[in-house]
Amino acid sequence: MADLMDKITSLAKRRGFIYPGSEIYGGLANTYDYGPLGVELLRNIKNAWWDFFVSQRPEIYGLDTNILMSPKVWEASGHTTSFSDVVVDCKSCKIRTRADHLIEDHFHNKGEEKKVEGATTDELNQIIAFEKIPCPNCGNFDWTKLRKFNLLFATHIGILEDAKSLVYLRGEIAQGMFVNFKNVVNSLSPKLPFGLAQSGVAFRNEITLGKLTFRTLQFNLSEFEYFFDPQVTPWEDLFRQWKQQMWQWTTKILGLNESNLRWRLHTDEERSHYSIRTEDIEYKYPWGFKELYGLAYRTDFDLKNHMNKSGIDLRYTDQISGKKFIPHVIEPSFGMDRSLIAVMFDGYREEGEKNKSRVWLSISPHLAPYKVAVFPLLANKADLVTKARNIFETLQPILSCSWDDRGNIGKRYYAQDEIGTPWCVTVDFETLENETVTVRDRDTTKQERVAIAQLADYFEKKLK
């Protein structure tokens, strides 16, 4: 399966989905850039998410809050003290690694699955010593003591590097929703339950080398806080409801294969400091089942702490009874970069012999970077090119289209298959006689003739 990882990494770079960050300077670990195809795929996933969880739900409102916030936000939320990993350094080669990942990888290599995320420093120490786990980089067994390493990125505002100018790049986007809770209640007077959603980047000082964009320093997150009155609605009901909706999104909208997905309940030790129940949807990446999304019951932890720290009353007033209380929160959280690579792994197909093999990305047409590619059968026949160009220019404003007149038609089909374009339209000599084109399907490679005048309707129906 490591093979699939290599294939997707190579395809992602070669075809313009994902590039290693700062590559011409030798790269910057755990950073990636999206290329022309990747940015379309990412945008389609983010838009589909927004449509499914925000636009289609009248009680969920969007926000777009700042990356930089008062450092007091992160003190109140517990991130300055509790948002850390246990790390260990190799004294020989100086590489730093997360102790839990070191142990889990060690057992994985022995063919055993072991979860130790959230274990205490002492427990991790004991396992490393008992197993005599060597450094994955140099092979020596010469570790420093384990210590906690905070994940928040610190930076400074202005020219003075003093404690007063210290700020953090947001470690999660959720806090923007909590600190604006009162603003939204004042602006819209929403009735409980209601949600605040946003999509944006978050930053974490991750030290474990990620696999593609699985674990990066900067990543795209989409999540919402669903506020409710726990005396009116049992949290278990909402948890179940959002669990079901998350599954719906993952299998129906993102289109991931159910057999590559599972739910996993967090243990008490690994659960984040703010949650009393967390369940993850895990995806079967080529390196095993790992977190794709999380669902947490954050109780009133965040609003309560912000109210205490800021001194501002963040209670909600029930519009009928006048009761004042701090609402509780259920939080479904979705990594968009992890979604994107999951879509690529899940959709990867190949058939045929080496050098002659056909590779295609069987991804949902809604998410595909291009919906349609348009070609003239031969690039040196002016009337075919003109006709094809007209079709391209008519479809382009309605659907995202690709134009290709290089090489032979077979190569063009294969090139579109590899980037997941669901349909290819070819203008051939018959087109000049009867105003029809061939439409080829990416997954079946079957072709059918469609009248040019019907093309826009034909694709609209397919995309419904």
Q: Minimum distance between the CB of residue 175 and ligand GAP, rounded to whole angstroms?
A: 8
Specify the residue, 185 or 217, whose C-beta has the smaller distance to ligand GAP: 217
Q: Minimum distance between the CB of residue 337 and ligand GAP, rounded to whole angstroms?
A: 5
Interaction of residue 294 with ligand GAP, rule CB under 6 A: yes
Specify the residue, 68 or 451, whose C-beta has the smaller distance to ligand GAP: 68
Interaction of residue 395 with ligand GAP, rule CB under 6 A: no
Which amino acid is present at 406? R
Q: Minimum distance between the CB of residue 85 and ligand GAP, rounded to whole angstroms?
A: 11
Which amino acid is present at 453? A
Interaction of residue 299 with ligand GAP, rule CB under 6 A: no
Question: What contacts 464, CB < 8 A, 6 or more positions away?
Answer: none
Stretch 21-40: interaction string toward ligand GAP, x if CB under 6 A: --------------------
Interaction of residue 283 with ligand GAP, rule CB under 6 A: no
Determine if residue 22 is left, alpha or beta; phi over 0 gives left, psi from -120 to 50 gives alpha, anything else beta.
left
Candidates 216, 250, 364, 416: give the one binding ligand GAP (CB under 6 A). 216
Distances, alpha carbon 422 to alpha carbons 77, 393, 442, in Å:
45, 18, 5
* Tokens 């009874």, residue located: 321
**Dist CA 372 CA 395 (whole Å):** 9
* CA torsion through residues 274, 280, 283, 286, sign: positive
Q: Name the one range near ligand GAP by CB under 6 A: 6-14, 212-220, 229-237, 369-377.
A: 212-220
Candidates 79, 106, 215, 387: give the one binding ligand GAP (CB under 6 A). 215
Nearest to 283 by CA among 359, 239, 342: 342
**Dist CA 331 CA 315 (whole Å):** 19
Distances, alpha carbon 236 to alpha carbons 270, 276, 301, 332, in Å:
20, 12, 17, 14
Q: Name the one range near ligand GAP by CB under 6 A: 131-139, 215-223, 362-370, 437-445.
A: 215-223
Structure tokens at 275: 């949650």
Candidates 34, 61, 219, 348: give the one binding ligand GAP (CB under 6 A). 219
Candidates 293, 301, 370, 375: give the one binding ligand GAP (CB under 6 A). 293
The answer to whether the CB of 421 falls within 8 A of the CB of 372 is: yes
CB atoms within 10 A of CB 213: 25
Interaction of residue 291 with ligand GAP, rule CB under 6 A: yes
Q: Name the one range near ligand GAP by CB under 6 A: 40-48, 119-127, 133-141, 289-297.
A: 289-297
Candidates 40, 85, 100, 172: give the one binding ligand GAP (CB under 6 A). 172
Stretch 336-365: interaction string toward ligand GAP, x if CB under 6 A: -xx---------------------------
The answer to whether the CB of 107 falls within 8 A of the CB of 133 is: no
* Tokens 């298959």, residue located: 417
Q: Name the one range near ligand GAP by CB under 6 A: 106-114, 117-125, 335-343, 386-394.
A: 335-343
Distances, alpha carbon 155 to alpha carbons 5, 76, 164, 170, 248, in Å:
34, 18, 11, 11, 39
Candidates 206, 302, 346, 418: give the one binding ligand GAP (CB under 6 A). 206
- Strand-pairing partners, residue 153, are 169
Q: Minimum distance between the CB of residue 20 and ligand GAP, rounded to whole angstroms?
A: 15
Q: Minimum distance between the CB of residue 269 and ligand GAP, rounded to whole angstroms?
A: 15
Interaction of residue 174 with ligand GAP, rule CB under 6 A: yes
Alpha helices in 221-379 (DSSP H): 235-248, 301-310, 336-347
Torsion of CA 134, 139, 141, 147, to 10 degrees: -70
Interaction of residue 284 with ligand GAP, rule CB under 6 A: no
**Dist CA 132 CA 125 (whole Å):** 10
Q: Minimum distance between the CB of residue 125 and ligand GAP, rounded to whole angstroms?
A: 25
Q: Name the one range near ligand GAP by CB under 6 A: 35-43, 46-54, 218-226, 394-402.
A: 218-226
Rounded (10°) angle between helices 455-462 and 382-395: 50
The answer to whether the CB of 334 falls within 8 A of the CB of 221 is: yes
Interaction of residue 46 with ligand GAP, rule CB under 6 A: no
- Residue nearest ligand GAP (C-beta atom): 335
Interaction of residue 90 with ligand GAP, rule CB under 6 A: no
Interaction of residue 333 with ligand GAP, rule CB under 6 A: yes
Provide the binding-site residues for ligand GAP, judged by CB under 6 A. Answer: 172, 174, 204, 206, 215-216, 219, 221, 223, 291-294, 331, 333, 335, 337-338
